[in-house]
Amino acid sequence: MMKLPDHIQLREVGPRDGLQNEAKPVPTADKIRWIDQLAAAGPTYIEATSFVSPRWIPQLSDAAAVMSGIARRPGVTYAALVPNMKGLHYALAAGIDEAAVFLSASETHNRSNVNKSVAETLPQLREVAEGALQAGRTVRGYISTVFGCPFEGSVPLTDICRLIEAYLEMGVREISLGDTIGVANPKQVETVLAYLLARYPADVLALHFHDTRGMALANVLVSMEMGITRFDAAAGGLGGCPYAPGASGNLASEDLVHCLHAMGVATGVDLEQLLAAAAYIQEKIERPYPASHMLASWR
């Protein structure tokens, strides 16, 4: 019989990971309104933006304006992706609650993403983590290409462990393991998690699945059975990775919440409000949102 947790935590990453790959510019006011809609739906964690160079991700060049414009809700962590100390300076000034740092498990993808080797990236991330912690913020860490790299294929689990240990040594509170191009399958997820959970507690790990081949929810179910209770998702299923050929959207937050609620797993999220927020951003990027998705339950 399937053994599931009573409650999971949704990490809503749509405003950052969802929008960063969208070519159509979204006005700052629309981003602010969307984030406020998402917060009203109930998730306690929203990755609102990224303090990266506008040359690399023009869509998120308004990071400071977005952070200053949102209506902060008590109990919600408003995080931002922070690649370096310059980004951290601006992020702290903008009032982020948490800094998210990132690197890839595979050398080729890391170089494609940040133009550095993994060994060159780690000291930079350590500096950001130390700066954020000294400023009284928490730090979250991403590891991309955990389940496969578009350039190198499979990634050794020993490499994943080395990066987890580096993050923990930096003081990172939670580590998100990314299926960057959506190649993971339930059996692989079981194998990877069995290896990692024999070495690290479940409460420091989160899973970040892309839905390239429609496998994301199946992978979530396996992860929950193994004790994982934190999952990244993006309202509207937005996202992808600009440096990972073949990557498609993230697991849709509304699909995750609907599935969990149907199985009796609590999320603390109001599905109707989440669906409305998903439809709102789809309209802004001029992508039709299926009418069937607006039905939170059969009537």
pTM above 0.75, yes or no: yes
pLDDT tens per residue across span 240-275? 655 445 456 899 999 999 999 999 999 999 999 999
pLDDT for 290: 60
**Pair 206, 232: CB distance under 8 Å:** yes
**C-alpha distance from residue 287 to each of 11, 212, 229 (Å):** 23, 18, 31
Give me the mean pLDDT over the 19-28 stretch.
Answer: 92
Q: How confident is the model at residue 231 (pLDDT cuts 50, 70, 90)?
A: very high
Q: How far apart are CA 263 and CA 134, in angstroms?
A: 41
Residue 299 lies in a domain: no
Q: Is 241 a catalytic residue?
A: yes
Residue 1 lies in a domain: no
**C-alpha distance from residue 184 to each of 58, 76, 78, 237 (Å):** 30, 30, 28, 17
Q: How many helices (H) and strands (E) does the chain have?
A: 10, 8
Residue 200 lies in a domain: yes
Give me the catalytic one of 149, 161, 241, 259.
241
Residue 32 lies in a domain: yes
Q: Please list the residues that pair with 252 across neighbouring strands.
A: 234
Q: How confident is the model at residue 299 (pLDDT cuts 50, 70, 90)?
A: very low
CATH number of residue 84's parent domain:
3.20.20.70
Residue 155 lies in a domain: yes
- The values of phi and psi at residue 38, to 5°, are -65, -45
Count CB atoms within 10 A of the CB of residue 164: 22
pLDDT tens per residue across span 141-165? 999 999 999 999 999 999 999 999 9
The closest alpha carbon to 52, from 7, 100, 12, belongs to: 100
**Pair 184, 149: CB distance under 8 Å:** no
Residue 277 lies in a domain: yes
Q: How confident is the model at residue 298 (pLDDT cuts 50, 70, 90)?
A: very low
Which H helix or E strand runs over 103? strand 98-104
Domain count, the chain: 1
Q: How far apart are CA 144 and CA 167, in angstroms?
A: 13
pLDDT tens per residue across span 59-85? 999 999 999 999 999 999 999 999 999
Residue 263 lies in a domain: yes
Q: Give the range of the structural domain holding residue 233, as residue numbers without chain letter.
A: 9-294
Share of the chain above pLDDT 90, in %: 85
Residue 23 lies in a domain: yes
